[in-house]
Structure 1
Amino acid sequence: MAIDYDKLVNWKFDPIEQHYTSKDSILYALGVGVSMDPLDMDQLRFTYEEDQLALPTMAVVLAYPGFFLKQPEFGVDWVKILHGEQGIQIHKPLPAAGHVVGENRITEIIDKGEGKGALIFSERKVYDKPTGDLLCTLTSTTFARGDGGFGGPKIEAPKPHAVPDREPDSVVELPTLPQAALIYRLSGDFNPLHADPRVAEAAGFKAPILHGLATLGAAGHAILKDACGYNPDRFASLRLRFTSPVYPGETIVTEIWKDGQDVSFRSRVKERDVVVLNNGHAVVK
């Protein structure tokens, strides 16, 4: 089995429509650890329906196309794929409840060579259905570990953002709940790896791991808190690379460097001193 480059890169996705409610936005915020202190009024704006706001990082769960790479006609060895990078660009603040439509496409597939895997780049644009306004653009890089050498382009992949070689300007520690993955999965990612200890053990983990996009949400929370004063209107974009899994209940420590509107960051797990997100770059207004 090998990747069918022409079929995958030219695949026409059906638009994905989604109605989401205030409750969905609250559930997402709780899933990424907002309101661990229920008396924090800044965080309560995202987890209580009065004057409610939506987290900018909730964009990643809107109009999600599902695990499409599992389709056999694409020829992807889906068991060996990893989520490598994720980007979010916010064009208009997300409403706390709404009706959206997502348009998905594959933008490129890079063949790293036999035994070296392949990189699959995808893009999702999410529009407000009633007005047609573009709300956000999501970009994702999937590392297909078992698919190198299929005869596709061997162009150089974009270089990741380098965090500054100096002490961070600030550090934000955010705990996660032991049941964080069980909450986050209710936002749409039902992979049993994040819930069933037997599946996690078979995959080589000591316990179910937190969704990578939930870890992204914790880092996004740190940026929103430290660089935006909890004002989502100031959050313009974010991009990062996933480097290691998090176990629910661990503490995510995000180091932040500020250079005007450019914010660099990386996140590590306090308990194991392991970098879990790297090469982070955000733009704030």
Structure 2
Amino acid sequence: MPIDAAAALAAAPRTGEITWDHKDVQLYHLGIGAGVPATDPRELRYVLESRLHVLPSFATVAGAGAPGVIAGLDRPGVDVDLAHVLHGGQRLRTARPLPVRGTAAVTSRITAVYDKGKAAVLVLRTEAADADGPLWTDDAEIYVRGEGGWGGERGPSGRTEVPDGEPDAVVERRVREEQALLYRLSGDRNPLHADPAFAARAGFARPVLHGLCTYGITLKAVVDTLLDGDVTRVRDYWTRFAGVVYPGETLRARMWRERTGAGAVVRVAVDVAGRGDAADPVLTGAVTVA
């Protein structure tokens, strides 16, 4: 069996060190569509080093995306075909605002392996800390088609409900034709996002956008629209990837403000404008804010 759940879970954590500076932050922000219009002060805070704010989702690529989805699959008990791999979901919890430049120790390990019948889901956790203490904890859910069916724990349901009622805000963001080619320079070099022949082997009409690019585009939309551009208010950002996005399409993000026992939450549902049914999102999730 290509996935040995017991071996994957028993494997020792991997540790390393990552570094980043303002150029890495700027490249990431450009990769998720920041800087348009190029003279807008609200956009310049993401791309101009003299006033740079770091969007928390930068944590998913800090240090060139290490360990990343591809590196995360290079583990004992895991031997899979990249053409069968999709990013199923992501959760980021921040301990404090991310610095513009830094060095951090990172520890990564597989914390769960679920049997979904026709697929397996691996949960890869990465924790980062610098000299001042913890920075973030990041969980990536890696969906591997054709690798389930061994009788393991099924895990939590991947279904999420879109809130009822009219959203508090709706914004559209066009994905540029070269968006995936630019975003992959931040670390995720999976050929699914660049090579048409590889994408065809994986069952797609053409290369698809990185799920984490949609993830970053969505968080930026929430911060810019409902948080007054204040990146430091984001505490927890969780999403489920429910469909694919192709470069050149336009994302439509609907946002609902809610109050819970834990504080303020912005729920999000993102679909592709022009496909028709807004009830069939490509991403759903929630942002917990201060």
After TM superposition, the score normalised by the length of structure 1 is 0.90
For 1:283, the equivalent position in structure 2 comes to: 288
Q: Deviations over 1:32-51 (max 9, x none)?
A: 00112112211211100112
CA contact (8 A) 1:264 1:282 kept: yes
The CA distance in 2 between the partners of 1:112 and 1:208, in whole Å, is: 25
Q: 1:76 to 1:33 in 2, by over 3 A?
A: same
CA contact (8 A) 1:69 1:78 kept: no
The CA distance in 2 between the partners of 1:57 and 1:221, in whole Å, is: 9
CA contact (8 A) 1:246 1:276 kept: no
Q: 2:270 aligns with which of 258, 267, 270?
A: 267
- Report the alpha carbon displacement of residue 155 of structure 1 after superposing the two structures with TM: 4.8
Structure 1: gaps (5+ residues): none
CA contact (8 A) 1:111 1:118 kept: yes
The CA distance in 2 between the partners of 1:21 and 1:179, in whole Å, is: 24
For 1:231, the equivalent position in structure 2 comes to: 230
Q: 1:191 to 1:206 in 2, by over 3 A?
A: same
Q: Deviations over 1:165-206 (max 9, x none)?
A: 112111011122211111101100111221223322333333
CA contact (8 A) 2:126 2:139 kept: yes
For 1:244, the equivalent position in structure 2 comes to: 243
Q: 1:65 to 1:134 in 2, by over 3 A?
A: same
SS class of match (2:266) = strand
Between the aligned residues of both structures, percent identity stands at: 35
SS class of match (1:33) = coil
CA contact (8 A) 2:91 2:236 kept: yes
Q: Deviations over 1:75-125 (max 9, x none)?
A: 443342221111111111111111122111211112234xx3222222111
- Counterparts of 1:29-108 in structure 2, within 5 Å, are 29-63=29-63, 64-66=66-68, 67-68=70-71, 70-71=73-74, 73-79=76-82, 80-108=84-112
The CA distance in 1 between the partners of 2:79 and 2:167, in whole Å, is: 40
Q: 1:197 to 1:78 in 2, by over 3 A?
A: closer
CA contact (8 A) 1:227 1:284 kept: no
CA contact (8 A) 1:89 1:137 kept: yes
- Report the alpha carbon displacement of residue 70 of structure 1 after superposing the two structures with TM: 4.3
Q: Aligned residues, how many?
A: 280
Partner letter of residue 277 of structure 1? V
Deviates more, 1:72-81 or 1:27-36: 72-81
Structure 2: gaps (5+ residues): none
For 2:208, the equivalent position in structure 1 comes to: 209
- Report the alpha carbon displacement of residue 29 of structure 1 after superposing the two structures with TM: 0.1
Deviates more, 1:266-275 or 1:50-59: 266-275
CA contact (8 A) 1:105 1:122 kept: yes
For 1:256, the equivalent position in structure 2 comes to: 255
CA contact (8 A) 2:91 2:140 kept: yes
Matched, 1:138 2:138: yes
SS class of match (1:256) = strand
CA contact (8 A) 1:16 1:65 kept: no
- Report the alpha carbon displacement of residue 73 of structure 1 after superposing the two structures with TM: 4.4
Q: 1:56 to 1:201 in 2, by over 3 A?
A: same
For 2:126, the equivalent position in structure 1 comes to: 124
CA contact (8 A) 2:227 2:233 kept: yes
The CA distance in 2 between the partners of 1:51 and 1:268, in whole Å, is: 32
- Report the alpha carbon displacement of residue 159 of structure 1 after superposing the two structures with TM: 5.7
Partner letter of residue 97 of structure 1? R
CA contact (8 A) 1:257 1:264 kept: yes
CA contact (8 A) 1:240 1:277 kept: no
- Report the alpha carbon displacement of residue 160 of structure 1 after superposing the two structures with TM: 4.7
SS class of match (1:43) = helix
CA contact (8 A) 2:35 2:47 kept: yes
SS class of match (1:248) = coil
- Report the alpha carbon displacement of residue 26 of structure 1 after superposing the two structures with TM: 0.2
The CA distance in 2 between the partners of 1:269 and 1:84, in whole Å, is: 18
For 2:184, the equivalent position in structure 1 comes to: 185
Q: 1:95 to 1:76 in 2, by over 3 A?
A: same
Q: 1:7 to 1:134 in 2, by over 3 A?
A: same
Q: 1:31 to 1:99 in 2, by over 3 A?
A: same
